[in-house]
Amino acid sequence: MDLAATTLLIAISFCAILIDVNNDYGDYGINYDNITLPTIILFCIQWTLVLVPIRILSRLPIEKHVLEKNTLLYIIFILVTCSSVIMIISNSSAIMEALVMDMADVREQHYEDMGGGSSGEANYFMLIPQIFISNPFPTLALFFWFYMKAFMKCPLFLRAGMLTASIVQAILAIIMAGRAAMVYWAFDFFLIYSLFHRYLPNGLKRKITLTSFIIGTFASILFVSITIARFDGSKSNRDPMASLYGYAGQQVNNFCTMFEKGGDAPFQTARIFPLYSKITTGKSFNLSNHYETIVTQVNAIVNVFDTFGAELYLDLGWFGYISFFLLLFLFTIYIKSNWEKIEFHHIVIVVIVISFYTRSLFAWPFTHHYTTIALMMVLSNCYFFKYIFKI
């Protein structure tokens, strides 16, 4: 897993070099060239500090759950699976419509709907499913899918349900011709498969490789189709291939840009603490409005991928940025000093670390109050899986 996480950073760096070689700055959501020696060193330091706990965790053996926790595990499996199925069914007409439309039209319609605002009353019956498909539950579902393969004998419908739950965000992203959810799933799969590789028999590894190849092929076709629809050379002078490596490598320059240009950004907590914002203002966090507030103070494109660190700096300044890494340092010291193995109740923390890493390569990963609630629910499982309750 340590090698897998490092490989993703190498791939991003390679794509950043392609951007520089072809001078694609200022297009495809990439800021103009703002890379400096101090900011590129800071980028490297930031991701080295994030890799350290991943390196420690990847070396620890995984402890299996005790039999008394089977019931709790199955409850989680069923809740997450049912929530995913409900969300897919409730959005099935929009998904089917998006699949038969041109991807460029899907994206345009999505932003028209956003601009027009939502109509009608909120469906409160969908609150629970919304929470159980929010990050980090898809990563937890994928982790448990591998866990079932390695350590449990579960019915096929549960295994299929957990695999579906892991990719539900990518399925729902079809509605808005989104690409990020597919990338997140692929990165999660890469890291979690790497973590479980030592526990899987060779025959099962071949089956998983085949399954991931089939899903990956479908996702790649959809990803490329969306990209070509957005940047078709016949409709504009923009190159779909340049947009692909621009998409994958813009984080480096955009990170540097935020630290070069973002010093005057207003102090805001809504993106970092969305549930607090929801409680105090009564309004859900809106990323578009958040960017509009920042852009009035920052002379740069801010509605782009710039990694979690740049967004911490934009919202909370140096104080927030340094405080986060102090907390990360304390967490690293704690697991190195106290963990000799990944006990089963620690699994949810490992899942959060993986989910944070794969999404933070692009942006701050917890930008919705549903996600904050989901994060709290996932963390609560540390307590429920640690202790045996007797009545």
CA–CA dist 273, 328 (Å, integer) = 17
Residue positions counted in the chain: 391
| pLDDT tier for residue 233 given thresholds of 50, 70 and 90 | low
Task: Give the pLDDT mean for 309-337.
Answer: 96
What is the number of other CB atoms lying within 10 angstroms of the CB of residue 335?
18
CA–CA dist 35, 53 (Å, integer) = 27
Beta bridge partners of 342: 62
What is the number of other CB atoms lying within 10 angstroms of the CB of residue 349?
19
With tokens 């549930």, the residue in question is 275
| pLDDT tier for residue 154 given thresholds of 50, 70 and 90 | confident
**By C-alpha distance, which of 223, 249, 233 is closest to 25?**
249
End-to-end CA distance of the chain: 40
CA–CA dist 189, 253 (Å, integer) = 27
pTM across the whole model: 0.90
Which residue type does 362 have?
A: F
With tokens 């899903």, the residue in question is 215
Q: Quick one: pLDDT at residue 330? A: 97
Task: Give the pLDDT mean for 288-311.
Answer: 89
**Encoded tokens for 12:** 């991003």
Higher pLDDT, 109 or 130: 130
**By C-alpha distance, which of 309, 384, 381, 386 is closest to 136?**
381
